[in-house]
Copies of this chain bind each other. A is one copy, B any other.
């Protein structure tokens, strides 16, 4: 028998099952609010972080990305994929895991599932941005794209922004029905809408949450009134578009990632 590995070789691991246990024990609202607090703290020390761009490996069906960063004390990276067709075969669009390591020794200190965490973080980040950028007193959100992420978005906007009404639309009515079912006990008032135009009626926050690389236009210029907050979640790589160009030209744009070379998108109108 070979000798046993050193105690220093062991790395704590959080499985999907244990992450789900954690979410159930803490409560999703508590986790969304807590995570948003950590994210806000990290934005306040933004200069500490290494801004290495994500490393994407694109294929016909999707993308696999590595997202490393470091604050000089702790190194971390996330592995995440995006494969919209996966849901046709019983798989998820997104799976993810992540690692923390000690910069001084290079030794991993935590390995964790991040499929659940990515959904929660994305929603917490969206709601945190809206807390600072959306019209004060916003109570109604349009939710276009009703996949699994839509549920996390809705709950985060309820917890952090006080959204009360969510107007749902998806080209797949079954997806809308599923979100409505899963959020039935959430305390949100839900409306299943027949068109994107109907969904955005009276909404101060417009969330688009789609995942396909189809160069889509979810919102056109004439659909969007002035002063609304758009939370465009899906468009994070080439071909994954959600907004017509004209909307971008008259918007104040804030992005939490920037292209590998070139400057950060930031315009005012």
Contacts and interface: CB of A to CB of B under 8 A. Distances in A.
B66 A95 contact: no
Contacts of A4: 17
A143 to B, nearest CB: 24
Interface size class of A (residues with CB under 8 A): 35 or more
B8 A90 contact: yes
Copies of this chain, complex-wide, total 2
A57 B72 CA distance: 9
B9 A5 contact: no
B72 A59 contact: yes
Interface string A39-81: 0000000000010100101010111101010101001010101
Interface stretch (A103-111, A123-131, A191-199, A217-225): A103-111
Interface string A1-34: 1111110110000011100110110000000000
A255 B17 CA distance: 44
Contacts of A9: 16, 95, 115
A57 to B, nearest CB: 5
Given A64-B75, A75-B64, A79-B99, A59 B104 contact: yes
B95 A106 contact: yes
A255 to B, nearest CB: 21
A57 B68 contact: yes
A248 interface: no
B2 A104 contact: no
Contacts of A103: 57, 59, 61, 64
Nearest to A83: B106
A182 B57 CA distance: 42
Nearest to A15: B5
A82 interface: yes
A168 to B, nearest CB: 24
B8 A20 contact: no
A77 B79 CA distance: 10
Nearest to A17: B5
A86 interface: yes
A66 B55 contact: yes
Contacts of A90: 6, 8
A159 interface: no
B107 A91 contact: yes
B59 A52 contact: no
A228 interface: no
Closest 4 CB pairs of A and B: A81-B106, A2-B20, A5-B16, A83-B106
